[in-house]
Structure 1
Amino acid sequence: MSAPTIPATRRVEKLTGHPRFLRVWASQSAGAVADQILPVAFALHAVQNGAGAGTIAVILAGRAIALVVCLLAGGILADRVSRPRILFTADVLRTVIVLGTLLTLTHLPLAALGIVTALSGVAEALSRPAMRSLVPALLPTALLERGNALVAAVQRSATLLGALAGAAIVTAIGIHAALGLAAFLFATGALAVLGVRDTVADTRDRSSVLADAVAGINTVRHRPWVVAVMAAVAVQLFAGTAPSLTLLPLVASERLGGELAYGLVLAAGAAGALPAIALAGRWRPRRPGAVSMIALVSYAALPASLAFALPLPVTALCFALGGFVVELWFVYWLSALQREIPAEMLGKTLALDQLSAFALLPVGYALTGPAVAAFGIQPTLVAAAVLTAAATAVALLVPGVSTFSDPARAGRAGPGGEPTGPA
């Protein structure tokens, strides 16, 4: 008797069967390391040269401002032209920007590094919507969570490596070596994506740019659950991320052990994301929005950990918790948008998602210095923690947020479109 065969319908697809996806994944992983090296290197370079919170905020805010200004344009481009070509161009631009900074660094005032981060942010604004909207074109729907989790896992691992490498290289060798490594990684990312084709690009309609922008805004506006989550994340970046990242190098220098402690805390945030990515890639809860948004409330641990005189291991643990909950939310949220939003609107919607998230970030950076001057570090960070937690909790009151889907569909289908019973 011959051995029984497994029906073809039960064959489990693997990511290794999609080489185009793997090449794009490799390209963006190299860039993720470089993306993390730059802010760490610039922030430590500023601290070594006597900069305060205001200068550090200017350096970090450059990227955020560029993202706010250019993300929608990046989303429109992602729905109109070849997305792999956008990724290649963005990495080439960042390579040139970093090499130019490397050659002129000794002549640049510290505040001018904000311009460098802004120029790099323009290239990032082009690549973000293109990358995230390209994934559904490279993978079947059933592999979206796993694919997004793999992208997030390697990017988070790269972020951990970049934070440690940036801090260690600047401390032991100098900022020039760190910038050289970043330029090499951006160039490697550009080469990796060469030859990847986006077949969907050939079938897209060519409406006007203004009509594209309006259509993207309407796609989001007609989904209140999307608006609610975007607003909550915008407040989190404003109140949680901006004060924490601005004050962390100063707090690390004063009471956590110095410059290397800064890199270790950032690396802990990246390390904390890894188990969340593994969990989200395998576990598909019936209410992914409720799971991830409730978890996201604890992102308030970042500013709270800096508000009090906690030892380095505890501070690192709080940042690790922040990395865990952000990545858990991100995989479920991105996969939901990729399923719920029509393909021709996806690039613009993802751009608006990023645009809304970063809209208040420059404001947060700008207000951190004056707030510290007026109220002190501890009251500023305590207020930031309270606002961070409250914004996420309130978003759960909006229908559709708990399932990350339109309320009319929530009772009929699970996160992947599978029929479900009553909640």
Structure 2
Amino acid sequence: MSAQKSAEERAGAEPGRDSLRAHPRFLRVWAGQASGAVGDQLLPVALSLYILHRGGGAGEVGLVLGGRAVSLVVCLLAGGVLADRMRRTRILFAADLFRAGILLLAALVLPVVPLAALPLLTTLTGAGEALSRPAARSLVPTLLPDSLLERGNALVAGAHRSSAVLGALSGVSLVALVGVRPALFLASLVFALGALTVLRVPDRAPAPAAGQDRRSVLAEAAYGLRAVRGQPWAMAVMATVCLHLFAGSATALTLLPVVSRQHFGGDVAYGVVLSAMAIGALPALALAGRWRPRLPGTVSMLILTLYGLVPLSLAAPFPLPWVIVCFALGGFVVELYFVYWATALQRAFPSDALGKVFALDQLSAYALLPLGYALVGPMVSTAGTTGTLVGGGLVVVASSLLCLAVPGVARLGAQPEKDSSAVAPEAPLPAGSPGA
């Protein structure tokens, strides 16, 4: 009973209330992250259309999208280390305020900025995102009790997806009606609102593990690496998602605005298809928040094979209604997987390593993404648009199925439930050991 009480107090909840509404600190952080998600989606949409309007092509779009990916790869681990050393709400505030300032400056000077310099804009905003991601995700289990983690993660992902719909449609609409500069002003405003939302949320810096002094930055990073290496199932899933982004997302997102102009009538189709992916995720979040499958990893990897339809739908291309359906299905399977995956990491790793684990998760996912964006243009020149998209879809399907062969993936590291008549082990596994 005392453990349950302390968990409720730590999460800032009213004791006895098994509801997210009883955790106001979590809801404030959630609202701030939802605001920032609008800006995260609005910026790449607006810049991609701006490049096409200025006469650029798939290569230039890929470089702009790749700028964000490069920044994430370079800065995520630093963000994870900071998330385990500082107050996480301060990191979120600083990251949102930084992005707001960068976008405001970009909106003011955009008329004199050449296309070749636009990747710098996405690189700088990506740095702010890299700092905020580990802090936001490792903050969730400090604000909610264990029984509400699935619901909390589902609500966070739902806010991101709902905001992505608004961001995509706002980006397309603003660029079409009044130009890219108002879109950048709006993105700056939503980041500023996100910063204000978390400004007064009470929070404490994570304490070092018992008996350990605060480590150096390099030692902290090495500690996070050792924690992940001790969980082979986690490494396998991270590698699989890395291939998905490299082969599936990079090709589909780079070629979608090009295919939309060539086959679907223009920029409006681009925004509609992106919004369909975000909308398709919402029923998955409702499902994942309440359904706890016995083998969450098996469910996740099998449904992620359907993400291959995202690039494949553009290869023919399918008629626009079918492309919309495929992207919506892609959003559904990604978010169903994400809720189970984030919850598994929050339960499997200690608090003083969690920020670094989430940073390594994101770092591994984006490790090959800059290369993927950079290769789209040359691949289209060599294999054609159809060949590039078909190859990306096949890599997604094959890697998802191969991941299931790794021990521990089926349960995402969770121990199988033991029968009450079974003999208890002599001693519990130490925290952070493989399979713990």
- Which SS does the other structure have where 1:199 is aligned? coil
CA-CA distance at 1:112 after TM superposition: 1.1
Deviation at 1:11, TM superposition (A): 4.9
Query: What is the identity, as a one-letter code, of the residue corresponding to 1:88?
Result: F
Question: How far does the alpha carbon of each residue in 1:371-413 deviate from its partner, in whole angstroms, 9 at most, with x for none?
Answer: 001111001111111111111110011011010015xx23549
Output the CA distance in 1 between the equivalents of 2:207 and 2:317.
57
Residues 1:96 and 2:104 aligned together = no
Give the counterpart of 1:379 among 358, 365, 387: 387
Give how far 1:206 is off: 1.6
Q: Which residue of 2 aligns with 1:213?
A: 221
What are the equivalent positions in structure 2 for 1:375-414 lying under 5 Å apart? 375-405=383-413, 409-412=415-418
Matches within 5 A, 1:110-149: 110-149=115-154
Q: What pairs with 1:320-359 in structure 2 (closer than 5 Å)? A: 320-359=328-367
Inter-partner Cα distance in structure 2 for 1:412 and 1:210: 40
Q: What RMSD, in angstroms, separates the aligned Cα atoms of the two structures?
A: 1.3
Residue 61 of structure 1: aligned partner: 66
Stretch of structure 1 that moved more, 397-406 or 348-357:
397-406
Letter matched to residue 69 of structure 2: A
Aligned partner of 1:20 among 7, 17, 25: 25
Shift of 1:123: 0.4
The one-letter code matched in structure 1 to 2:266 is G
CA 1:107–1:14 in 2, change beyond 3 Å: closer, same or farther?
same
CA distance in structure 2 between the partners assigned to 1:367 and 1:130 by the alignment: 31
User: Which residue pairs with 1:265 in the alignment?
Assistant: 273
Query: 1:308: Cα distance to partner?
Result: 0.6
Matched, 1:226 2:251: no
**2: CA distance between counterparts of 1:174 and 1:56?**
17
2:291 aligned partner, one-letter code: W
Inter-partner Cα distance in structure 1 for 2:116 and 2:261: 20
Shift of 1:113: 1.1
Shift of 1:155: 1.1
1:203 CA drift (Å):
6.0
Q: Which amino acid aligns with 1:143?
A: L
Structure 1 residue 186, shift from structure 2 partner: 0.4
Q: Which region of structure 1 is more displaced relative to structure 2, 172-181 or 265-274? A: 172-181
Pairing partner for 1:252 from 260, 263, 270: 260
Question: SS of 1:376's equivalent?
Answer: helix
**2:320 is the alignment partner of 1:312:** yes
Q: Which residue of 2 aligns with 1:183?
A: 188
Q: Which amino acid aligns with 1:300?
A: G
1:287-312 deviation line (CA, Å, top 9, x unaligned): 11111110001100011001013111
The answer (yes or no) to whether the contact 1:137–1:200 under 8 Å persists in 2 is no
Separation (CA, whole Å) in 2 of partners of 1:173 and 1:199:
44
Displacement of 1:154 in angstroms is 1.2
Is 1:80 equivalent to 2:85 in the alignment? yes
Deviation of 1:196 (Å) = 1.1
Distance 2:69 2:317 in 1: 29
Alpha-carbon contact 2:84-2:205 (below 8 Å) kept: no
CA drift of 1:199 comes to: 2.7
Q: Distance in 2 between matches of 1:367 and 1:339?
A: 37
User: Is it true that 1:35 corresponds to 2:43 in the alignment?
Assistant: no
Shift of 1:111: 2.2
* Preserved contact between residue 30 and residue 185 of structure 1 (Cα < 8 Å): yes
Relative to total residues, which structure has the larger helix share, 1 or 2? 1
| Aligned equivalents of 1:192, 1:394: Cα separation in 2 | 42
Query: How big is the shift at 1:222?
Result: 1.1
Percent identical across equivalent pairs? 56
Cα deviation code 1:131-190 (max 9, x no counterpart): 000000000000000001111111100001111111111111111111111111000000
Q: What is the CA–CA distance in structure 2 between the aligned matches of 1:143 and 1:111, rounded to whole Å?
A: 46
Q: CA offset at residue 200 of structure 1?
A: 4.7
Deviations 1:307-333 (CA, angstroms, capped at 9, x unpaired):
013111110110001000000000000
Amino acid at match of 1:220: V
Alignment of 1:272-283 (within 5 A): 272-283=280-291
Whole-Å separation in 2 of the counterparts to 1:62 and 1:117: 5
Alignment pair present for 1:240 and 2:248: yes
User: How far apart, in 2, do the equivalents of 1:105 and 1:219 lie?
Assistant: 44
> C-alpha separation between the residues in 1 aligned to 2:95 and 2:16?
37
User: Kindly tell me: are residues 383 and 256 of structure 1, through their superposed partners in 2, closer, same or farther at Cα, counting changes over 3 Å?
Assistant: same
What SS class does the counterpart of residue 157 from structure 1 fall into? helix
CA contact (8 A) 2:66 2:373 kept: yes
What is the CA distance between 1:210 and its match in structure 2?
1.0
What displacement does 1:39 show? 0.2
- SS at structure 1 position matched to 2:206: helix
1:309 partner SS: coil
Residue correspondences, number: 402
Q: Is the 8 A contact 2:79 2:131 kept in 1?
A: yes
How high is the TM-score relative to the length of structure 1? 0.93
